[in-house]
Amino acid sequence: MNILLELGLYFSLLSLLSVGGMPSVIGEMHRYVVESRGWISHNDFIEMFALGQAAPGPNVLISSLIGWKIAGVPGALVTLAAMCGPAGVLSFWVAGVWERLQGTAWRAVAQRAMAPMVVGLILSGGFVLATPGGAPDWRLWIIAAGSAWAMVATKLNPLWMLAAGAAAGATLL
Amino acid sequence: MPVTPPRNLTELFLGFLSIGARSFGGVMPWAHRVIVEERRWMSPEEFTATIGLCQFLPGPNVGNASIVLGRKWFGLKGSIVAFLGFFGLPFLWVLALASLYSEFALQPGVKSVVTGVAAAGAGLFIGTAIKLGKPIAGKPWALVVLMACFIAVGIGRVSMLIVIPAAAVISYLLAKRGLL
């Protein structure tokens, strides 16, 4: 299959699954493009993730960087459009419906059902990114644990955690 | 504090352009600042309700918010204009940055720095999960669902296309019985 077409279809599916945003699907994205299809290496994936996190802008742009790495500028456009499109159409449509459901029992149940799934998926994303190739590296885990702690315990702008990660990377790795 | 929605598509475009352009270290704080504080397009309560909906929907939160708000004020045209305004600049410079990076990637030391940033970024995800998880930590069944999703996707590397539908059904049934 044409690679742009496959990227478009796959990222469209991810778009509809990305409840909670990029963090929920990053583990799945890695599984597909690195482990299953082998389009890019784990290192490429990690580099694009780091750039996307550090650059200003929405973190969904990580997907366009991955698309760029796989298939150049067309890849970047296709993955961004696919990642935003289906979810965007859904939002457009649901925006009206959801307001009418305000305060109904069904909405409350759906919201409670979603919460633990989203948390479990985001945790998976963090774990996959900090554990290259499924082989634990304690130095990466320490950096990740430190920035997770800073995020929970302080009100620092996340850029400081990324900067600290850069410094720790230069020293430890 | 009186609120006035954007008067025309140009204003809408420029507002979302300035959110995208300045969003260092997270988009949400900037969206709040521009929409609620600087331009006073809507009240803080309305803003929170809109973001709440967008967090519930799949897709990038603020990207969805641009679509929902654009529609609210100008219909489909508004959605498209707000979306393009929001993504235009960040899309261009993230690609510029990546091209620049490729030039330097072979320099010794660059890889260590980037790997460190990525690990810290992974930590931010874990921190987000902990923050979001606090309100549900007291519910045993919620922890079961959470750990099951984590073990299946994070460790077992099972496809989300299988995990999500299964988890959604189980989770919904548990929530309906008041266990979540």
Asked if the structure places residue A25 within a domain, the reply is: yes
Q: What residue ranges of chain A have pLDDT lower than 70?
A: 1, 99, 133
Structurally, how many domains does chain A consist of? 1
Contacts of A28 in chain B (CB under 8 A): 153, 159-160
Q: Is residue A167 part of a domain?
A: no
Residue A130 counted as domain residue:
no
pLDDT at B131: 85
Q: Is the pLDDT of residue B1 over 70?
A: no
Domain, as residue range, for A58: 3-103
On whether residue A84 sits in a domain, the answer given is yes
Distance from CA of A43 to the nearest CA of B (A): 8
Closest CA to B149 of A65, A23, A102, A99: A23
> Chain-wide mean pLDDT for chain B?
89
Q: How many CB pairs under 8 A join A and B?
A: 356
Instruction: Give the gap in angstroms from C-alpha A145 to the nearest C-alpha of chain B.
Output: 6
* Separation in Å, CA B61 to CA A67, A145, B55: 20, 25, 6
Q: Is residue A127 part of a domain?
A: no
Please name the residues in contact with A112: beta carbons below 8 A apart, sequence gap of 6 or more: B175, B180
Q: Tell me, yes or no, whether A49 lies in a domain.
A: yes
Q: Do B118 and A165 touch (CB under 8 A)?
A: yes
Cβ A116 vs Cβ B132: under 8 Å: no
Task: Express each pLDDT in B52-88 by its tens digit.
Answer: 778 778 888 889 999 999 988 999 999 999 999 999 9
Flag if A117 and B149 touch (Cβ within 8 Å): yes
- Burial class for A29, CB neighbours closer than 10 Å (0-12, 13-18, 19+): buried
- Domain-located, residue A31: yes
Q: What is the largest CA-CA distance in chain B?
A: 58
Which among B23, B57, B135 is the nearest to A90, CB-wise? B57
Residue B58, φ and ψ in degrees, nearest 5 = -70, 160
- Specify if A98 maps to a domain: yes
Q: Inform me whether the C-beta atom of residue A71 falls under 8 Å from chain B C-beta atoms.
A: no
Average pLDDT on B95-124 reads 87
Q: Tell me the backbone φ, ψ of residue B25, rounded to 5 degrees.
A: 65, 35
Q: What is the pLDDT of residues A90-125, one digit of tens each?
A: 988 887 787 677 777 877 788 788 889 888 988 998
Q: What is the pLDDT of residue B148?
A: 96
Paired with B58 in beta bridges are A19
Give the pLDDT confidence score for residue A139 in this predicted structure: 95
Q: How confident is the model at residue B23 (pLDDT cuts 50, 70, 90)?
A: confident
